[in-house]
């Protein structure tokens, strides 16, 4: 059982391996975890202690459609070089990249590269497809209002979908920027002016029809930032709820360390592995 492991922003393969040491020791020894560094050199990520040595990496240089497409191309190269893999494990930015990649794969009708996914504390998934939410973004640009203005969500000039998009920004991206948790950061003015090319195509489930149909396990910390938990809910919402499980642990923006909670994740992972066989027999393949 081979599982590709994708670290968080401003982190590294070795850091994630250390973060998951208890889980690795708790699962079946036949499971092989393959840790890879992101392609983009990065500054130290939020939450990475000053005693932790670099170098640090990220999976994307930014969150525009073009930058996300580059990140997915890099991931595809990794799959070709080191694969095949049975599953994917992602933490934070790594989890969001996995969700974005699997969603686009399925949307394109491509053969699934993963049979299951284990996702820890996913941040906001962004699409590599320029047309994703394009009408909404162009509508906001035409409005020309500062999206950080809390009064904007009450504006009668917005459509229902534009209002949903702005509300999501206020639950997730805007507070993340205020807490200096956005890396790489971007200027929200991309939603108020210009041509919209650089505006991240945030993947809000209420605005998208496609759902990821492989088994997924979503793990979040009860003490994580509220905006991070909201981002993880977005990632969960992009998955078919019939094939998805949610777990909470007592910590923050990190994989669980309490052994009882680690064992709960282990059981959920085993469930996903079993379901992956059932899903393929039952016609869930992409």
Question: Which segments of the chain does DSSP mark as H helices, in order?
Answer: 13-19, 21-26, 65-82, 93-107, 134-143, 160-171, 173-178, 226-237, 259-281
CA separation for the pair 75, 86 (Å, rounded): 15
10 plus 142 within the same structural domain: no
Whether residue 65 lies inside any domain: the answer is yes
Q: Which of 92, 121, 127, 232 does the annotation list as catalytic?
A: 92
109 plus 14 within the same structural domain: yes
Whether residue 234 lies inside any domain: the answer is yes
Tokens of 250: 């007592």
44 plus 95 within the same structural domain: yes
Answer for the pair 45, 55: CB distance below 8 angstroms, yes or no.
Answer: no
Q: Which of 37, 103, 253, 279 does the annotation list as catalytic?
A: 253
**Residue 253 annotated to the active site:** yes
Q: What angle do CA 28, 30, 35 make, to 5 degrees?
A: 95
- Domain range enclosing 141: 134-202
pLDDT at 243: 95
pLDDT at 195: 95
Q: Which of 7, 100, 224, 276 does the annotation list as catalytic?
A: 224
Tokens of 85: 């893999």
How distant, in Å, are the alpha carbons of 70, 78, 98, 119 from that of 113? 18, 12, 11, 16
**Residue 149 annotated to the active site:** no
pLDDT at 50: 87
Q: How many domains does the chain have?
A: 2
Answer for the pair 45, 25: CB distance below 8 angstroms, yes or no.
Answer: no
Answer for the pair 221, 258: CB distance below 8 angstroms, yes or no.
Answer: no
pLDDT at 11: 97
The DSSP annotation for 218-285 comes to EEEETTS-HHHHHHHHHHHHTB-GGGEEEEEESSSSS---SHHHHHHHHHHHHHHHHHHHHHHHTT--
pLDDT at 278: 52
What b/e sequence results for 210-243 when a residue is b if at least 16 CB atoms lie within 10 Å of its CB, and e otherwise? ebbbbbbbbbbbeebbebbbbbbbbbbbbbeeeb
What are the mean pLDDT values of the chain's consecutive 10-residue runs (286 residues total)? 96 97 94 97 91 94 97 97 96 98 93 94 97 95 94 91 96 95 93 95 94 97 97 97 96 95 97 78 38
CA separation for the pair 95, 81 (Å, rounded): 20
Answer for the pair 247, 264: CB distance below 8 angstroms, yes or no.
Answer: yes
pLDDT at 283: 39
143 plus 244 within the same structural domain: no
**Residue 121 annotated to the active site:** no
56 plus 184 within the same structural domain: no
């Amino acid at each position: 059982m081979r599982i590709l492991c994708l670290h968080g922003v401003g982190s590294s393969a070795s850091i994630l391996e250390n973060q998951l040491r208890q889980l690795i020791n708790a699962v079946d020894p036949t499971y092989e975890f393959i840790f890879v560094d992101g392609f983009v050199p990065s500054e130290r990520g939020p939450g990475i202690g000053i005693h932790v040595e670099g170098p640090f990496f990220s999976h994307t240089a930014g969150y525009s459609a073009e930058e996300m497409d580059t990140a997915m191309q890099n991931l595809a190269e990794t799959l070709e070089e080191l694969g095949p893999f049975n599953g994917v494990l992602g933490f934070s930015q790594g989890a969001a990249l996995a969700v974005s990649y699997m969603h686009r794969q399925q949307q394109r009708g491509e053969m699934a590269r993963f049979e299951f996914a284990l996702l820890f504390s996913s941040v906001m998934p962004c699409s590599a497809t320029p047309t994703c939410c394009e009408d909404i973004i162009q509508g906001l640009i035409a409005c020309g209002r500062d999206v950080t203005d809390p009064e904007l969500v009450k504006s009668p000039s917005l459509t229902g979908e534009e209002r949903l998009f702005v509300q999501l920004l206020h639950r997730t991206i805007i507070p993340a920027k205020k807490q200096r948790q956005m890396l790489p950061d971007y200027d929200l003015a991309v939603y108020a002016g210009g041509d919209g090319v650089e505006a991240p195509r945030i993947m809000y489930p209420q605005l998208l029809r496609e759902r990821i149909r492989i088994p997924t396990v979503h793990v979040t910390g009860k003490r994580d930032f509220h905006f991070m938990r909201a981002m993880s809910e977005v990632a969960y919402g992009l998955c078919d709820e019939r094939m998805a499980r949610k777990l909470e642990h007592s910590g923050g923006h990190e994989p669980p360390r309490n052994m009882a909670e680690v064992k709960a994740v282990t059981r959920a992972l085993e469930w996903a592995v079993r379901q992956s066989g059932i899903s393929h027999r039952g016609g869930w393949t992409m």
